């Protein structure tokens, strides 16, 4: 769950059907800012409940001439961080589904690319983002378990970056 406006599907309650991807997300995006702790909420949503929601599956295959040759998914993902996909567009649906974006920090200047899972059998990293307060409230009725992680070590790339930054700052301060 995240309320930041600059996400690929905009603000909402984001769901990921792949456990390893959810764990990796926690390790890289939550734990470093939450005292090396994170949690994965696991929901079992009955098909009758899911089918009652109006979830728009974004087309990520077909290029559309009226969208400058982008697919509906690429257009949506590129416009969400800029605010072009507004609440009026979102309010028509309870949520959206489609691939996760592999390059969200390059948007909107670069074309969005779908991300693949870190699972043994790679597939598109899918997500569902619930935007309506009704769907967000209903999902809490289907929380079945919580997996918590503590003492998660910082990701190596961030640790390496911090070390390089430290040495750069030390070198710059001490020798110039």
CB-based burial label for 96 (10 Å; 0-12, 13-18, 19+): buried
Domain that holds residue 38: 13-175
The answer as to whether 7 is a domain residue is no
What residue ranges in 72-135 does DSSP mark as E strands?
A: 95-99, 126-130
The answer as to whether 5 is a domain residue is no
pTM above 0.85, yes or no: no
The answer as to whether 21 is a domain residue is yes
pLDDT tens track for 95-144:
999 998 888 878 778 888 998 887 767 788 889 989 888 999 999 999 99
- Structural domain count of the chain: 1
Cα–Cα distance, 105 to 164 (Å, whole number): 22
Pick from 13, 31, 20: nearest CA to 155: 31
Check residue 14 and report its DSSP letter: E
The answer as to whether 4 is a domain residue is no
The answer as to whether 102 is a domain residue is yes
């Amino acid at each position: 769950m995240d309320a930041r406006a600059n996400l690929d599907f905009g603000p909402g309650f984001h769901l990921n059907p792949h456990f390893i991807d959810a764990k990796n997300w926690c390790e890289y995006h939550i734990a470093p800012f939450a005292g090396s702790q994170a949690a994965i909420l696991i929901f079992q949503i009955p098909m009758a409940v899911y089918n009652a929601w109006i979830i728009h599956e974004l087309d990520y295959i077909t290029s559309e001439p009226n969208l400058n040759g982008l697919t509906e998914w690429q257009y949506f993902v590129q416009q969400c961080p800029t605010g072009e996909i507004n609440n009026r567009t979102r309010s028509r649906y309870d949520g959206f589904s489609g691939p996760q974006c592999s390059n969200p920090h390059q948007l909107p200047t670069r074309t969005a690319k779908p991300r693949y899972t870190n699972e043994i059998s790679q597939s598109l990293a899918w997500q569902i983002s619930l935007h309506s307060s009704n769907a967000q409230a209903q999902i809490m009725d289907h929380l079945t378990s919580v997996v918590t992680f503590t003492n998660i070590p910082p990701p190596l790339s961030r640790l390496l970056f911090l070390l390089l930054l430290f040495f750069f700052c030390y070198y710059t301060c001490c020798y110039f």
